[in-house]
Amino acid sequence: MESVHLVSLGCPKNTADSELMLGALVRAGFDVTLDPAQAQVLLVNTCAFIEPAKKESIEAILEAAEVKRGGHGKRLVVAGCLAQRYGTELAQQFPEIDIMVGTGNFLDLPELLRRSEQPELRAIPYPGAAHLLPAADAPRVRLGQWFSAYLKVSEGCDHRCAFCIIPKIRGRHQSRPPEDLVEEASQLAAGGVRELNLIAQDLTAYGRDLSPRTSLAALLKRLARIEQIRWIRLLYCYPNFVTDELLATIAGEERVVKYIDMPLQHADDGVLRAMRRERSGDGLRRLLDRVRKAIPDVVLRTSFIVGFPGESEAAFANLMGFVREQQFDRVGVFTYSREENTAAWALPDQVPERVKRRRRAELMQAQAEISLNRNRGLVGRELEVMVEGSAPGRATRMRGRTAGQAPEIDGVVLLGGEAAPGDFVRARVERAAAYDLHGRITAALA
């Protein structure tokens, strides 16, 4: 039995693909190991969204190639977005790579590993934009915590944002059938999952391409009937498709947490037009007002890009004012990454890197102050918390998350008291930091 060591990089959507790769390999008779030195197959699932992600992927490939050189008979597999986007260049630059699979053929990996014993049958880079939508019965080897899982509801994206390469890697938007998603969610729940995080490149477009047509709201109502699932969370809601029906469903379904991740990217009208986003700053204000009226206790997470070509100091000031005005619960800030084959690549007035970094630091500092004030407003309150385990380096403290904290991207709650991973407890908030909360367990919840 050959063993596989996986390095999975990038976003939760990539994590879901990694779980499917491992599932296909295990079903084909491979074993999984955490020790690369003990593996016969070194598998790197890459990201290629922006320049820092590409650099991280290249570094991981170099590290795996070094491990391969130190052991006899090892094979190196590069998968995912970097292989999809730069397969030919990778094959030329890294002769150590034995197999490449892209975003549309990674479930062929067991067969490709068998074939690669013969050099003349070695797999070639996967050409063009592509994605893969697995069926509910596709095996998965879960990564991370057993009580929390990602459910990929669709793939690809039909938007043409000027800064984004994803449609040219993953292709057009395609939804999975609702019956398939309900079946997979039920299987995850039967395996102990209590938190379901719905993911997609464009989550709110779900169901618009199906026949008969359906919606994310309709899917949520079906998923909310699965009794073992306690929290259902939405990650990446494109602003234009946040409908009144969706907001009413989030507000009305107890198991759907009152948390919306809705990347807005900017708030200055000129920058939004250059980005090919469909809303003006005032349009975004009206949307946010509608969201907050429909779900008064909603936790809002968004992300912005600073340093987009043509972003003047006045445009950046508009963004800063917007963030201070809106008082978001969570904000991620990225510096613009100039990516070839995107519409923004050839735009004039590229912003210097030092200016991008300064603007990011200023916006992050402003948001840190907002986050701290909002967290301080929770001191003294009792909140429902899902316990994740012991806090790293803190033997006497537990770590958990509220419904308003998404896994791996938001802060955590550091807890005094005893509980097991996967337990839901009630905890009183005693102290607040900019991103994390400190509290004490007051009761166990069923």
- Helix (H), strand (E), coil (C) string for 94-148: CCCEEEEECCCCHHHHHHHHHHCCCHHHCCCCCCCCCCCCCCCCCCCCCCCCCCE
Residue with tokens 């200023």: 362
d(CA 309, CA 28): 48
Indicate if the pLDDT at residue 120 is higher than 70. no
Confidence check: pLDDT of 378 > 60: yes
How confident is the model at residue 282, as a pLDDT? 96
Phi, psi (5° rounding) for residue 401? -140, 145
The pair of structure tokens assigned to 307 is 């340093």
Note whether 413 and 403 are within 8 A (CB).
no
Domains and CATH numbers, the chain: 3-121 (3.40.50.12160), 148-376 (3.80.30.20), 382-445 (2.40.50.140)
pLDDT for the residue numbered 1:
80
Q: How confident is the model at residue 221 (pLDDT cuts 50, 70, 90)?
A: very high
- The span from the CA of 55 to the CA of 7, in Å, is 14
Task: Output DSSP code: residue 69.
Answer: H
Task: Give CA angle at 360 (414, 404), nearest 5°.
Answer: 30
Burial status of residue 391 (CB atoms within 10 A of its CB: 0-12, 13-18, 19 or more) = middle
- Convert the pLDDT of each residue in 325-366 to its tens digit: 999 999 999 999 999 999 999 999 999 999 999 999 999 999
Task: For residue 29, give every residue at least 6 positions away whose Cβ sits within 8 Å of its Cβ, in sequence order, or none.
Answer: 1, 2
Mean pLDDT of the chain: 94
Q: How far is CA 176 from CA 103, 147, 151, 322, in A?
A: 16, 23, 11, 36
At residue 240, does pLDDT exceed 60?
A: yes
Residue 118's pLDDT band, with cuts at 50, 70 and 90, is low
Whole-angstrom Cα distance, residue 46 to residue 140?
18
| Average confidence (pLDDT) over 99-118 | 86
Per-residue model confidence as pLDDT tens digits over 128-145: 789 999 889 999 999 989
DSSP string, 182-242: HHHHHHHHHTT--EEEEE-SSGGGTTTTSSS---HHHHHHHHTT-TT--EEEE----GGG-
Determine the pLDDT at residue 169: 93
Where do we find the tokens 């308003």? Answer: 404
Write the pLDDT tens digit of every residue in 49-90.
Answer: 899 999 999 999 999 999 999 887 899 999 999 999 998 899
Sheet of 97-101: strand order equals 31-32, 3-8, 41-46, 75-80, 97-101
Helical axes 216-223 vs 178-190, angle rounded to 10°: 30
Residue 339, CA atoms < 13 Å, CB-side half-sphere: 25
Q: What is the dihedral of CA 235, 238, 241, 246, to 10 degrees?
A: 20
% of the chain at pLDDT higher than 70: 97
Distance CA 99, CA 29 (A): 18
> How, if at all, do strands 97-101 and 299-306 pair?
unpaired
Specify the length of the chain in residues.
Answer: 446
Q: pTM here?
A: 0.94
